[in-house]
Structure 1
Amino acid sequence: MSTLVLRLAAPLQAWSGYRHAVNMRFVAPTEALPRKSGVNGLLGAALGPHDQGYGCARDLDSIGERYRLQVRVDARNPAAEDFQVLSSLTGPAHRGADRSHRVGSASTSAFPANRDRGNFPTTVARRDFLAHSEFIAALETDASTAEAWISALRDPVFMPYLGRRSCAPTFPFVLGIHDGSLEDLFAHLPHVDRNREEAPLLAYTVRGSYDLHHADEHPRPYTPDRVDRTAQLTWVKENLR
């Protein structure tokens, strides 16, 4: 078995839970940890729509069955809410036939079909994000699959993103492949401590894509060395491939 190691970090990321709508306010919360369904989508974007024998974007369930996911929480902040208002586009600048057609096609789920006078309620959307959070995701799979996936992630067909298309991962993103145990990886991969906290890092086993309790309720603590980013990347270069 081999382990594909990713660093999931960005100014904003979102691993959506169950969406719901109440009184025209569409709420999209985020989970506190990356979900397996979101990681499946990330891999599917990198692999593209053509099946190479290792799963493809049209077969995300198949991708999820090929690996076991564990996540070490290196930094996590409270969820931040993005308040968005979607209103009608009825002014003179929006009455062109081509533009109206495009806007209407993209907005059928947000607005009623009849919008001649724009006399309908404004749609309010609330989306949650994790700000400046960082996770080490370990995908344990067979050696050939790990090699194919890391090649795809280094030269993706579509841009990988962390839950939503606006959440592109920051460098370093693809750390490499680890051939030892997950316990050894999490215990020795250095941690960049931005908050100067002495508490141990927690690692969770993330199971199903849509389980209500999708993460292990008894995470394992780890106390890796606390270093700067340069030292962490040096360790990655020397210990991962």
Structure 2
Amino acid sequence: MSVLSLRLAGPLQSWGASARFAARRTTESAPTKSAVIGMLAAAAGIERGDDRSLEPLAALRFAVRVDQPGTRVRDFQTAHHGASGKSMPLSERFYLADAVFVAAVEGDPTLLATLHAALRNPVYAPFLGRRSCPPSQPVELGLHDGASLLEVLSQVPWQASAWYRKQHHDRTDIELTVLREAHDNEVEFADTLRDQPVSYAAAHRRHSMRTVVSDTVRITGPSARSLPSHDPFDAFKEASA
């Protein structure tokens, strides 16, 4: 087995797991499997109605590490019907601002190598839950052979922003939450989320239930000395030199 790790960070993210046409579109507190698998499928050029090509991707085991939880923000949007010009109902949409996650999928090494290459040269550009939410950096982190999801998420360096890490400068390590798919013997104690992709076809988009458990990993955090510093007055000092 191999694991493919992804860095999901940007000014805004939105990971909905509810109805498409709801006037109130919420966001989960962490990336959903449906959205991440959809990102991988888009990068590989799999079309929305190609359910057969989607199946191997949907079968990958999924986990996500919360490196920087972000802040939930609300937005109101209006729209007009493309044909009639009639004003549509006001919609309420929620986003995560300044959040950073490390997502990982586990499965067949050949498939993950193909997806890793696709992320480096995507057919369709990735976005963080909605097309209005582009990532701030390339999403691919690396391909890890012979490792499990928890092993990889215990080893990948902390991806939080420098300003956020500075708030924890007095700690030599940090405990991060991991949301992962439950094993068979954990189902009884697991939560459920309707984000297991079945089809992305526009006419019959479908998802099934997935069992999720919360875990933690402890990783070494950078010391305060290792973090970049920024003084806004440095530019004036350089100009006057």
Q: TM-score, normalised by structure 2?
A: 0.69
* Partner Cα distance (2:102, 2:43) in 1: 18
Question: Cα RMSD (Å) of the superposition?
Answer: 2.9
Which of 201, 207, 220 is 2:215 aligned to?
Answer: 220
Deviations 1:134-181 (A, max 9, x none): 111110011100110011111001111111011111214201101223
* Partner Cα distance (2:130, 2:151) in 1: 31
* Correspondence for 1:200: 175
CA separation of 1:49 and 1:17: change in aligned 2, threshold 3 A: closer
Higher share of residues assigned strand: 2
Which of 123, 127, 149 is 2:89 aligned to?
Answer: 123
**Letter of the 2:19 counterpart:** R
Query: Structure 2: where are the runs of 5+ without partners?
Result: 183-194, 197-206, 228-241
Which of 37, 49, 72 is 2:65 aligned to?
Answer: 72
1:155 aligns with 2:121: yes
* Partner Cα distance (1:206, 1:152) in 2: 24
* Partner Cα distance (2:75, 2:58) in 1: 33
Name the larger-Rg structure: 1
Aligned partners of 1:71 and 1:203 also within 8 Å: yes
* Partner Cα distance (1:122, 1:3) in 2: 43
SS in 2 for 1:215: strand
* Correspondence for 1:81: 74
The count of residues paired between Structure 1 and Structure 2 equals 193
SS in 1 for 2:212: coil
Aligned partners of 1:38 and 1:163 also within 8 Å: yes
1:18 aligns with 2:18: yes
Q: TM-score, normalised by structure 1?
A: 0.69
Query: Structure 1: where are the runs of 5+ without partners?
Result: 51-55, 89-102, 105-112, 233-241
* Correspondence for 1:188: 155
Deviations 1:50-91 (A, max 9, x none): 7xxxxx872275144331001111011232111112358xxx
1:139 aligns with 2:136: no
CA separation of 1:226 and 1:57: change in aligned 2, threshold 3 A: farther
* Partner Cα distance (1:122, 1:177) in 2: 44
* Partner Cα distance (2:49, 2:115) in 1: 12
**Letter of the 1:163 counterpart:** G
Deviations 1:102-149 (A, max 9, x none): x32xxxxxxxx5x6xx6xx65201111111111111100111001100
